[in-house]
Amino acid sequence: MPLSTPEKMPETEPQAHSLKPNPRLTPEESHTLCQGCGMCCRYITTEIPVPASWKQIERIKWYLLHNTFVFISEDEKWNLEIPIPCSAQNERGECTIYENRPDVCKEYLQDECERYGEGEYYTCIFRNADDFLAYVKGHPELSKLIAPASVQWNELVKKPKATTTQAPS
């Protein structure tokens, strides 16, 4: 079944962001807004190609089998979100390298972040291979890409994980 209504992610899960200069806030104002939050420091997000081949569908399936998220943003771009915390963030959610943080951090817009922004950042989100397979099957432009090897995918999605057995001694 295709995902027709996007789910709202719990506040503790990562979200996406935009990388544009924010002329409205001084560095001091940004630091004050961010202090102790660190929500955007709990993940990385990167754009991925819109699936146009069976290989790309398989790649997205592989991503999703590794506890990541794939989402389609409001501007119809496909993105991979990897929940992994920044090593420069301390236990209080503060950046320990704030003055020397990377440009991607400096360019982050607080008015689009999960703490201060408004609305959802995605039109559709896939949390696992089942969700993605249902979406692919429900969209003709993607389902036509399903290769004969997809029978294996169908079996993987439907079967519970196999239990390991010991080799005879």
Query: Looking at residue 35, what is its pLDDT?
Result: 75
**pLDDT band (50, 70, 90) for residue 19:** very low
What are 54-99's pLDDT values in tens digits? 999 999 999 999 999 999 998 999 999 999 999 999 988 888 998 8
Q: Which residues pair with 45 in a beta bridge?
A: 81
pLDDT for residue 105 is more than 90: no
> What's the pTM?
0.67
Whole-number Cα distances in Å, 29 to 24, 46, 92, 147, 159: 9, 27, 19, 52, 52
Nearest to 134 by CA among 68, 64, 66: 64
Query: Looking at residue 60, what is its pLDDT?
Result: 97
Nearest to 72 by CA among 54, 60, 62, 84: 60
The encoded tokens of residue 49 equal 């190609």
More confident residue, 12 or 156: 156
More confident residue, 33 or 45: 45
Q: Which residues pair with 30 in a beta bridge?
A: none
What are 129-158's pLDDT values in tens digits? 999 999 999 998 998 887 655 555 555 555
More confident residue, 105 or 131: 131
Query: Looking at residue 13, what is its pLDDT?
Result: 40
Query: Looking at residue 46, what is its pLDDT?
Result: 94
Query: Looking at residue 168, what is its pLDDT?
Result: 46
The mean pLDDT value of the chain amounts to: 76
66 close to 22: Cβ distance less than 8 angstroms: no
35 close to 89: Cβ distance less than 8 angstroms: no
